[in-house]
Amino acid sequence: MVDQINSNFAYRNRSAIEDTSAEIQSVWFMHEDISDADEPLLAPLFRESFAQWLIEAAGQALFGAGQFLLFNKEAAIVAGSGKQLTEAAETAEGTLASIIRDAISTGIVTMNESEVGYVAAMPLTRRKDGAVFCVLAYLSKGDTKEKLELLHQCGLHFRSCFYHKFEQIYVKDLLLQQQRSEQDAKRKDALFQAAKRLYDQIDVASVLSELLRSLEQLYPSSEVHLYLSQDHLNGDARVKPLVFKNAEHDLVAKAFLNGKSVTEHDRDGTLRLAVPMTGKQAAYGVLCMSIGPGLWDEADLPAFLLLADTSGSAFENAKLYEQSNLLINELRLINELTKRLNQSLRLKEIFQFATSELLTIFDADYCCVLQLNKDKNQFIVMSSNFPALTSEQFSPDYGFCGMVYRTKEPLIISDYWHTRVVTSKLMDNTGSRSLIASPIMVEGEVVGVILVTHKAPNFFSYDNYKLLQVMSTHIGLAVTNASLHAEVRRMVITDNLTGLHARHYLNEQIQNKQRKDPFGSLILVDIDLFKRVNDTYGHQVGDRILIQVSDIIRSSIRQGDIAARWGGEELAVYLPGIRSEQAYRIAERIRQHVEQETDPVVTVSCGVSEWTFEDEKISVESLFYRADMALYEAKHNGRNCIFVGQS
C-alpha cells in the first residue's frame, strides 16, 4: 500500500532544520500534516492505520462489547472491526450516517441510538488546523456514555497510529526522492564524464569507440547499435551503415527522417528505442538501443537523448577536424605540386613529374598522362609507369580518355570488371579495377587526360576524385605555362619570315656542338642578285623567294642539322659531325634545287668551311669567317657555284 501512495502525496518543501541549542526540539517531520489535496488518497492509509490500531488495541474490553467503524469526511465507511461490518454498511444510510455527519460538522463527540444500537462518533482532527479528517465510531448494544473516556483514549490512539503511518510514508517518500536525486546526480555525473570523454576525442573513430563504451557503462543490460549515414570503417560490428529499406516501418529510418526519438515495443516486452544523432549542421546517424522487459525506466530517456545530442556534436566536431586536416593536407600537396611543377618549363618533365607525384599521393598502382595532338587528332601517352603504353596513341573516341574528352568532366569507376562501360587498354593490361580520371583543361578545352588506377575494387574515395580534379587544374596551368614558354622561345629563336632559326640561336648551338663534337661544317648560302629581284618584282616576291629557298634548305638537310637566317638574303646551315667534302655535296644539292624549283628562278652561291678538334683556334667567328671568304670567292667567280674555305 505504501508503494502505491508514495508518489501521490503532494511533496512538501522544507527549509533547513532549525538549530537546536539547549531545548529539546521535536522531530521536524512530526509537524507535517495532511491537506485537502490529500483527501482522495487517504483510503489506503486509513485501512493500514486501522489495521495497525486493531493490533495494538486488541486487549481493550470495548472490542468484546461492540465494534469500531472508521468513516471518512464523506461519511463513507473505510474500515471496521467485527463481523457486523457489512450489516452496518447497509444501514449506514440511516441514523448512523446522520450521527457521523453531525460529528463531522460539529467536530465534537456525538452519541445517539440508531437502528444497530447505541453509537458514539468521535471526530479526529488534523494537527495544524484542527479540521476533521475522519470519524471513529463505536457501536454496541448497551449505552456507551459510561465508556466515553475509554472511547476518547481509543480515538487518540487511532489518531496516533494514523499519523505514525503517515510519517512513515512521508519519510519513505523523502527517502525515495533522495534516492532518485542521488541516482539523477550519479546519472548526470556519468553523462558529464561521458560527454567530457567524447569531446576530448579529436578523430571520428575515437568518438565512436568512446560513445559505444559509454553506452555499455550506462546501460549494461541493453544492446546498442549505431547506424551512420556517412561512410566510415570503424571495425566495430555495432557500427553499421544507415540503409533505407522501408521508411514507414523501419524504426531507425523513421527516427533519422523525422529527427525525433522513436520507441517500439516487441511482443515479448522488449523496448526498442531509436534516437537521431545530430549536430548543428546535420544528422549523422541513429543510436538504436534494445532493452529487455521491465529493465527500462522512462526517467532514463532524457539522459539517453542528451547523450545522443552530445555524441552528435562530438562526431560533428571530429568530422570537421578530420575534414580540416584533410583540407590542409590537400592544400599542402597542391602547393607542393604547384611549386614543383612551376620549377620546370619542359612539357615532358612536367608530365613525368605529375605521374610520379600522383602515384604517391593516391597510393595508386598505375598512372597515365595523355596529351592531345591537335594536328594528328590523337591522344599521345606522354608519361606512364606502365612501359607498354609509352608513346601509344589513341583516338579521342577511345576508352576512358574519350569519355573525359567528350564530357570535359572527371570520372570515377569503382569496379571496372563489373561496370565495363568502355574498353580500356590500360585497365585490361594492368588488371586494374578502380579508376579516377580528370581532364587537363586549357582555356576551356581538353588538352590532356590523367588516368589513375588501382588493382583493388572501390579503392578510390570521393575525396580522391575531387582532389585529382583540383590537381589536374594546376597541371593544366603548368602545361599552359610550359607551352607559352616554348612558344615564346620559338619566337625568339626563329625568323618570322622564313621559319628558320635566328642567327644568335645558330651561334649558341655551334658553340655547344664545338664543346662536344670532334668536327662539323658550316654552309653559307647567298641568293644571287637578290636586290635585282626586289627591284624587278617587288619586295613581296623577294620575300616569297626567301621562303622558297628556306624550304629547299630544310628539305635538303638532316633533322639534327641547324638552318638559320644569317642576315638579309644570306642563309646558313650548320652540319654537326660532317666534314667539308660531304658538306660540299649537301651545298650542291641545295644549289641545284634552288635553280630548278624557285619561281621566279634564282640561283645561290655557297661558301663551305669546317672545324676539327685538331685546329689551333676553334671558334664560331673563325668558322663563319672562312665560310664568308669562300662565299666571297664564289660570287666573284660567276655566282651559282660553291667554294670551300681553307683553314
Model confidence pLDDT, tens digit, residues 156-186: 999 999 989 888 888 888 888 888 788 777 7
17-21, 272-276, 407-411, 549-553: the lowest-pLDDT one: 17-21
54 has which bridge partners? none
Cβ atoms within 10 A of the Cβ of 506, count?
Answer: 23
Measure the CA–CA gap between 286 and 329, rounded to whole angstroms.
31
pTM of the predicted model as reported, rounded to 2 decimal places: 0.51
For residue 569, indicate whether it is catalytic: yes
- Are the folds of 39-170 and 201-321 the same? yes
**Domain ranges in the chain?**
39-170, 201-321, 343-489, 494-644
271-280 long-range contacts (CB < 8 A, ≥24 apart) are 271/296, 273/301, 273/304, 275/304, 275/305, 275/308, 276/308, 276/312, 277/226, 277/308, 277/309, 277/311, 277/312, 277/315, 278/308, 278/309, 278/312, 279/312, 279/313, 279/315, 279/316, 279/317, 280/313, 280/316
CATH fold label, 494-644: Alpha-Beta Plaits (3.30.70)
Task: Report the percent of the chain where pLDDT is more than 70.
Answer: 88
Mean pLDDT for 393-403 is: 90
451 has which bridge partners? 368, 437
Catalytic-labelled residue, pool 32, 210, 316, 569:
569
CATH of 201-321, one of 3.40.640.10, 3.40.50.9100, 3.30.450.40, 3.40.720.10: 3.30.450.40
Model confidence pLDDT, tens digit, residues 257-294: 888 888 888 888 888 888 888 888 888 888 888 888 87
Is the pLDDT at 13 greater than 60, yes or no? no
Mean pLDDT for 344-349 is: 73
Confidence of residue 233 (pLDDT cuts 50, 70, 90): low
Model confidence pLDDT, tens digit, residues 205-214: 888 888 888 8
The grid cell for 151 is: 472511547
Measure the CA–CA gap between 608 and 593, rounded to whole angstroms.
17
Tell me yes or no: is domain 39-170 CATH 3.40.225.10.
no
Any idea which architecture 343-489 has in CATH?
A: 2-Layer Sandwich (3.30)
Q: Cβ distance 43 to 72 under 8 Å?
A: yes
Q: Of the candidates 555, 566, 550, which has an alpha carbon nearest to the alpha carbon of residue 502?
A: 566
Residue 548 confidence (pLDDT): 94
